[in-house]
Amino acid sequence: MAKNIGAVTIDSERCKGCNLCVVACPLGVLALKGREVNNRGYHFAYMESPDKCIGCQSCALVCPDACIEVYKCPPTAPPKRGALAVEAERPDQGQALQREEPATETSAQPSNVTLMKGNEALAVAAIRYGADGYFGYPITPQSEVLERLEQEMPWETTGMVVVQAESEVAAINMVYAGASCGKAVFTSTSSPGFSLMQEGMSYMAASEVPALVINVMRGGPGLGTIHPSQADYFQATKGGGHGDYHAIVLAPSSVQEMADFVGLGWDLAFKYRCVSMILADGVIGQMMEKVVLPPQRPRRTDDEIRRQCPWAVTGRKGMRPKNVVTSLELDDDKMEANNLRFQATYRLIEQNETRCELVDTDDCDWLIVAFGSMARISMKAMELARARGIKVGMVRPITLWPFPAEQIRKAAANAKGILVPELDAGQMIEDVKLAVECRLPVEHFGRLGGNVPTPDEILDALTRGFNIA
């Protein structure tokens, strides 16, 4: 008498009727239903000749939709994974690997007050902030960031990871991944590389992950020049990549601010789950100045990251619900809701985080609005002007986005005109005009192609532009 030794169950609602199990079965047990269909309209598989089944699993192995369970009696092999799953509802998967947190003391670190290039200050400040990783690609005039990091060997001290990527495209996506894991990660580049990174920044904005991106600008367009520029202002402040998004844009005008804005940038990025950017120009990156470095902070432990960034991709420790970081949402209503949430965050950032420096704006007849190296040069131009009895004040935006429009409007309340000196053909001037709603004359002065003006050129632009005697 023939004895049944195998059987299968088929989840007929999951089955798509692809027929691969029917083909795989060596004994012709299975067939597709001829007329009957499941709720999705598929002719599903079933055991047409159940007596022939030997429980060989061939059908289940090839099933793309995992809808077949196989039974065999008596079991000829010890119970496998499937059998175990019956006994324990959900086997407690593995043990989380315990990791000793690395020591946070660094040896041979530079003293707290030191002389260094702006680019180097970025690197050292990042290590001291407790950064988890840097991913970058060399490009002038910011290559000292990676060079200094490699010299410091932070992987030996804080455990920070430093990777020279194969391209800026790879680098920004490494940053995207590290940020998705809740890590404090950053990259640095200069203008052509910054263009390559725009796609990744758009993805990070859409995924709401915190990261720090540094652009030490050089003259463009194209390969352009290796000399300083501010011509990436639009790209940095208006989004740059595709879609509606913003990054917080910090504009340092000293080596000290290069160091300080690393920590500020990360703090803001984690606070708002957004990308922070340091938009420096080649002057600030290359010049050496005294800098007071922040104290060394420990890197956050895995547990701290899990607590502080419950959204982060860290592995399902304790089998918590899975975390997925993605920028994709095909449901239009949900994607609109996502966008509205991004915009709400941006309004909050505008409300809370707009920063600028006011210099002699109380009594000024003329106002200069300048950032970065141009603000430094404008400071000297102001001195020269005041020595000639021309009362000039300055607003130096520290955040280029959010833009200090309100502060500029107030500072310009009694001014007769505004000069906007930039290392570009006139980009920030558009935001200045919007800030004052064109109620007073706003003039641009710019040098292009990597050229940097002297204070006299700025003073000349002011007096000639506004016909000041």
> Which of 31, 170, 440, 468 contacts other proteins by CB under 8 A?
170
Q: Is 20 in the site for other proteins (CB under 8 A)?
A: yes
> Which of 178, 193, 219, 239 contacts other proteins by CB under 8 A?
178
By beta-carbon proximity to other proteins, the closer residue of 16 and 355 is: 16
By beta-carbon proximity to other proteins, the closer residue of 173 and 253 is: 173
| 382 backbone dihedrals φ, ψ, rounded to 5° | -60, -45
Residues 445, 375: Cα–Cα separation, whole Å: 13
Pair of tokens at residue 105: 């003391």
At residue 296, the 3 state secondary structure works out as coil
Report the 3 state secondary structure along 400-441. EECCCHHHHHHHCCCCCEEEEEECCCCCHHHHHHHHCCCCCC
In the complex, the smallest distance separating the C-beta of residue 128 from other proteins, rounded to whole angstroms, is 19
By beta-carbon proximity to other proteins, the closer residue of 246 and 300 is: 300
Q: Is 326 in the site for other proteins (CB under 8 A)?
A: yes
| 262 backbone dihedrals φ, ψ, rounded to 5° | -65, -50
Residues 198, 235: Cα–Cα separation, whole Å: 9
Q: Rule CB under 8 A: which of 283-312 touch other proteins?
A: 302
Query: Radius of gyration over alpha carbons of the chain, in Å?
Result: 31
Binding-residue pattern over the window 26 to 65 for other proteins, x denoting contact by CB under 8 A: --------------x-x----x--xx-x-xxxx-xxxxxx
* Cα distance between the two ends of the chain: 117
Q: Is 338 in the site for other proteins (CB under 8 A)?
A: no
| 431 backbone dihedrals φ, ψ, rounded to 5° | -70, -35
Residues 431, 412: Cα–Cα separation, whole Å: 14
CA angle 275/374/111 to nearest 5° reads 65
In the complex, the smallest distance separating the C-beta of residue 126 from other proteins, rounded to whole angstroms, is 14
Contacts of 41 (CB under 8 A, 6+ apart): none
The answer to whether residues 423 and 452 touch, using CB atoms and an 8 Å cutoff, is yes
DSSP 317: G
Q: Rule CB under 8 A: which of 115-144 touch other proteins?
A: 132-133, 135
> Which of 1, 2, 35, 99 contacts other proteins by CB under 8 A?
99
Q: Rule CB under 8 A: which of 411-450 touch other proteins?
A: none
In the complex, the smallest distance separating the C-beta of residue 334 from other proteins, rounded to whole angstroms, is 14
> Which of 30, 181, 262, 275 contacts other proteins by CB under 8 A?
181
In the complex, the smallest distance separating the C-beta of residue 145 from other proteins, rounded to whole angstroms, is 17
By beta-carbon proximity to other proteins, the closer residue of 312 and 411 is: 312
In the complex, the smallest distance separating the C-beta of residue 466 from other proteins, rounded to whole angstroms, is 48
Q: Please spell the DSSP secondary structure of 343-401, one letter per residue.
A: HHHHHHHHHHH--EEEES-SS-SEEEE--HHHHHHHHHHHHHHHHTT--EEEEEESEEE
Q: Is 327 in the site for other proteins (CB under 8 A)?
A: yes
In the complex, the smallest distance separating the C-beta of residue 339 from other proteins, rounded to whole angstroms, is 18
Residues 358, 363: Cα–Cα separation, whole Å: 12
> Which of 290, 307, 316, 341 contacts other proteins by CB under 8 A?
316
By beta-carbon proximity to other proteins, the closer residue of 47 and 277 is: 47
> Which of 116, 121, 174, 250 contacts other proteins by CB under 8 A?
174
Q: Is 67 in the site for other proteins (CB under 8 A)?
A: yes
Q: Is 85 in the site for other proteins (CB under 8 A)?
A: yes
Residues 261, 268: Cα–Cα separation, whole Å: 10
In the complex, the smallest distance separating the C-beta of residue 152 from other proteins, rounded to whole angstroms, is 17
How many binding residues for other proteins (CB under 8 A)?
Answer: 96
> Which of 294, 315, 426, 455 contacts other proteins by CB under 8 A?
315
Q: Rule CB under 8 A: which of 202-221 touch other proteins?
A: 203, 207
In the complex, the smallest distance separating the C-beta of residue 103 from other proteins, rounded to whole angstroms, is 17
Q: Is 243 in the site for other proteins (CB under 8 A)?
A: no
At residue 458, the 3 state secondary structure works out as helix
